[in-house]
Structure 1
């Protein structure tokens, strides 16, 4: 391991915890009504017709056909993104790829999957799905509608993921049973919330997922989205009642499909104890794996080698989709 020894932060991004400490974290219990809330939300979401619209993109790549895509999500939100189609192979599987809280300005052409239609949606309010007056920055976006579970924007972002699956199936009905999800940071947390309630998602890859163990998420110093919520709570009162309904660790305990999680020992943006709460919540299974990164949201010696190993694991993980 090569956990960074020097950094510019005013706090310790390891939070004084060793790998053994992190592996011992017990995920939180879900609040009353958690399952009913999410099951009802899922049923409402998939009743929406995504009505995908495809256009040739200005972007080009030798291995992929690149299409700009829009589809309709809940509440009439138009979600924008990109669809990659293999140039030389038939489409045999599908993958939805979530983004971090910085949004997304292009698809990732380096995904280690083949024979796949890869959909890169932008969550509502962000990047190609910008929608004023929703703030387009992470610190404002994470507060939108936070006072009630029914209005909190994170729920809408989960809807957008479910409607991304619906979009792939509308375009390629034969992909039913062959759709996976991959998400990092914000996208990892959204994925953990979405996967257990959508039986159409067969595998999940969650990298440094946020939104785990919300009670702790509200207390640990960070440069990530939690900092904005912590500051909001100081002047507006507790938001924990809402946030517990959006706890990625509580949701992860309900995932029944294979998951490859990648969590970090050092991370200034998503506190490692919160990441490990998500990974530790995954049911014990020979099909689940937790990959340990020395750091997240931070450059460090050995990151290229670690990410290369993880990339090959991702390739093998989605091969059987």
Structure 2
């Protein structure tokens, strides 16, 4: 069990030992969980995303960075960034989700885990400078409550659809990634908010071949509602105290429940100590995975601490090995 000096009014490890975390469960799914998500996925796949690539905005880590816009479900026009190899052909493609702070630039999401890779880094609806959407709050504590009274209006469902549409835009902008051109399956990377969205999105989309989820949120909502935190979950906890019926909506947006349907190879990086995303929820996502999976344990998430740079490099190395194995077919 990780321990750090901190000034939070609660224990960010919540007293859970490693053995207990390894058994953190996933809630049972509603009877129509799969049909609900398959219908939403089918709707997103019918969207004409009409992606537009902007001029180059710079180069970094062997990639040329462009702005990008595309259309998502409901006619929402979103933006983000698009990375292309600075030299040579594109051989792999990634969709990269962002945290609940939004995305103001490509930030630390590069370098990509494979060379000769393209990536779309979308800002989902309501988030980041290029995802601002009329009527949707752009701060995490308000965004996470938007439309939460109904499973059909909850903003998290729209954000998941944004990832599906981003994948469509990626393949349209880089035709060599399409299956009929011999392109490989896509990879997915997501951290925190993006990790939870990825767990919800990936079980229903056969375009992806491997994924990496770092400190994923939205895992085991019934448990999360009992655990204080500094992240978006605290807003949900406060809402639940006044509206206990929201538990029925949250059942459809549980990343651990979705993970029981997630069969593609998945690497989960979970933290033993995390003030923003309670560790039991993170481990619940990993424990529930239905397909091949690896666990990379970190001492802390969402927390500056000695050794953080080393842990980040260790995770980058694990990510490279994982995608080489599952998308390339080698050890890297």
TM range (shorter): over 0.9
Partner of 1:133: 135
Q: Give how far 1:257 is off.
A: 0.8
Answer whether contact 1:4 1:295 (CA < 8 A) is retained. Answer: no
* Structure 2 residue 257 is the aligned partner of structure 1 residue 250: yes
Question: Equivalent of 2:231, from 209, 224, 230?
Answer: 224
Q: How many residues align?
A: 318
Partner of 1:283: 290
Partner of 1:48: 47
Answer whether contact 1:14 1:266 (CA < 8 A) is retained. Answer: yes
Partner of 2:309: 304
d(CA) in 2 for partners of 1:284, 1:37: 21
Instruction: String of CA shifts for 1:33-83, please: whole Å, max 9, x gaps.
Output: 100000111011100011001111434437221110000000011111000
Q: Give how far 1:111 is off.
A: 2.9
Counterparts of 1:145-164 in structure 2, within 5 Å, are 145-164=147-166
Partner of 1:71: 70
Counterparts of 1:126-275 in structure 2, within 5 Å, are 126-127=127-128, 128-176=130-178, 177-275=184-282
* Structure 2 residue 321 is the aligned partner of structure 1 residue 316: yes
Answer whether contact 1:181 1:205 (CA < 8 A) is retained. Answer: yes
d(CA) in 2 for partners of 1:284, 1:186: 22
Q: Give how far 1:172 is off.
A: 2.1
Instruction: String of CA shifts for 1:83-138, please: whole Å, max 9, x gaps.
Output: 01111231001001000000011113323321111110011011111013211000
Q: Under a length normalisation based on structure 2, what TM-score does the superposition of the two structures give?
A: 0.92
d(CA) in 2 for partners of 1:181, 1:302: 26
d(CA) in 1 for partners of 2:93, 2:306: 34
Superposed CA RMSD: 1.4
Partner of 2:17: 18
Deviates more, 1:93-102 or 1:25-34: 25-34
**SS of 1:245's equivalent?**
helix
The structure 1 segments of at least 4 consecutive aligned residues displaced by more than 3 Å after TM superposition are 57-62
Answer whether contact 1:60 1:66 (CA < 8 A) is retained. Answer: yes
**SS of 1:129's equivalent?**
coil
Structure 2: stretches of 5+ with no match in the other structure: 179-183, 328-332
Answer whether contact 1:4 1:300 (CA < 8 A) is retained. Answer: no
Answer whether contact 1:65 1:86 (CA < 8 A) is retained. Answer: yes
Structure 1: stretches of 5+ with no match in the other structure: none
Counterparts of 1:31-46 in structure 2, within 5 Å, are 31-46=30-45
Answer whether contact 2:273 2:299 (CA < 8 A) is retained. Answer: yes
Q: Give how far 1:284 is off.
A: 5.8
Partner of 1:27: 26
**SS of 1:58's equivalent?**
strand
Going from structure 1 to structure 2, the CA distance change for 1:31 and 1:301 (only over 3 Å counts) comes to: same
d(CA) in 1 for partners of 2:59, 2:175: 26
Q: Under a length normalisation based on structure 1, what TM-score does the superposition of the two structures give?
A: 0.96
d(CA) in 2 for partners of 1:302, 1:75: 44
